[in-house]
Structure 1
C-alpha cells in the first residue's frame, strides 16, 4: 500500500471535498507535530500561591 493511487475525479465534487477534509484530518493526526510544540518549563513548575480564604456569606450577598 506504499504507492496507492486513487482517482477521486470519479467522485462527485462534494465527495471529493469530504475526502480531502478527511485526508487533512489524518495528516494532522498521524504526522509528527510534537517537534514544533515546545514546552515551556516555567509553565509546568509549581508556583507558590496564597492560601484560599473562604468567602463570608454576608459579604457575598451585600450590595
Structure 2
C-alpha cells in the first residue's frame, strides 16, 4: 500500500485527538514486539522427590 496522507485539519479537535489515539493503538498493536526470553525446560518440568512417608497420628499429637 502506498503512503497515505490524511487531512485532519478538516475535523474538529476532539475527532483529531480520537484519531491520533487510535493511530497510537494501531502502531502498538502491529509493530514488532521483542520476543520473550526462552525458558529453560528444566525449570518448568517437575523434579523427582522422595516418596512422602505419612506421619503417625500419635506422633503428631505427642507433646
Could you say which TM-score interval applies, normalised by the shorter chain?
A: 0.5 to 0.7
Structure 2 spans left out of the alignment, 5+ residues: 48-63
Q: What TM-score do you get using the length of structure 2 for normalisation? A: 0.57
Give the number of equivalent residue pairs: 47
Structure 1 spans left out of the alignment, 5+ residues: 49-63
* 1-structure distance, mates of 2:17, 2:45: 46
Question: Residue in 2 aligned with 1:15?
Answer: 15
User: Which ranges of 4 or more aligned residues in structure 1 deviate by more than 2 Å?
Assistant: 36-40
What value does the CA root-mean-square deviation take over the aligned residues? 2.4
Report matched runs for 1:1-63 at 5 Å: 1-33=1-33, 36-39=34-37, 41=39, 45-47=44-46
